[in-house]
Amino acid sequence: MKKAAGWLAMITLFTNMSLIVAKAVASYLSGSLCIISSLVDSAVDITSGMVIWVTARAIKKHDPYMYPRGRTKLEPIALIIVSVIMGVASIQMTAQSLESVLRNTVNPHVDLASLCIMIATVVIKFILMFDYCFRFDDDASIQVLGQDHRNDCLSNLAALFCAWAASKYWIYLDPIGAILVSLYIAITWFMTGKEHLIMLSGKSAAPEFINRIVRVCVEHDSRIDYIDTVYVYHCGTRFLVEVHIVMDPTMSLKVAHDISEALQNNIESLPQVERAFVHCDYEFSHRPYHEHKIV
């Protein structure tokens, strides 16, 4: 999956590099703020594609001494960085559009060449969105690439319509369209950044997934007498699982260890789980904070 993320990020990067040249030509020919906002979006897309590609490569490189548990947290960190870059660029484009209205410098003139370039951009992004990224929608990096292509489809369609309508009917549709496109991109990426920031902060999993973990524990081995506590919380895009089980105090250490280790491996086989820790006990009368400090 990480290999697919790296390849798709590279494809996205080279596609955006090609499209940015085409959009630069369309922006020069038309002078449309909508198309310029789309050009800025593509420029930031190149940055995001490079960040995700570098992150995917870094995650694949294991160093058991410097990073004994891997570097999977780089993924949400990279996505937060991309979200900030996208948001700042969109806000800057909004300010530029407002400034053009106040200074009365709006003068779009969309010709056939500009229209063809923007239509080709929408078609290419549409193909990338469905033919590549939606095949691997379980990976967070690929989800972001899919979201990026979806945003580009919508923003380019809006830019195309507003630029054309502004050149034909009302010139102020151009800055209005640029502002709407920029605000849409900013809000979308703000929500993405917020989501991954919450994940990094260690938010608990949804009750449905916690219940799934509990079911795995209950059905694992009949020699497990009780399930004491189950904690499932985010560690980046995936989950850390802590399970406390209770077994017969007269059971041998070897048997208790084998049951606990098998349960741990069973839980870690779930694709959503980053790491599982199973603690074996012989009673459940103590409080959870008796074993660990409260943080």
Find out whether 23 and 120 touch, Cβ atoms under 8 Å: no
3-state class (DSSP) for residue 237: coil
CATH 1.20.1510.10 fits 2-199, yes or no: yes
What is the identity of the amino acid at 159?
A
**Rounded to 5 degrees, what are φ and ψ at 131?**
-80, -20
Query: How far is residue 82's CA from residue 185's CA, in Å, rounded to a whole number?
Result: 12
Domain boundaries, the chain: 2-199, 207-290
Whole-structure pTM value: 0.71
Exposure string of 216-228, with b = 16+ CB inside 10 Å and e = fewer, is: bbeebbeebeebb
DSSP secondary structure of 107-161 = -----HHHHHHHHHHHHHHHHHHHHTGGGGTTSHHHHHHHHHHHHHHHHHHHHHH
Which CATH number is 207-290's, of 3.30.70.1350, 1.20.210.10, 3.40.50.2000, 3.40.50.2300? 3.30.70.1350
pLDDT (tens digit, 9 = 90+) per residue, 149-161?
A: 777 787 788 878 8
Whether pLDDT at 1 is above 60: no
pLDDT (tens digit, 9 = 90+) per residue, 22-61?
A: 888 888 887 778 788 778 777 777 777 777 778 878 888 8
Beta-carbon neighbour count of residue 8 at 10 Å?
A: 24
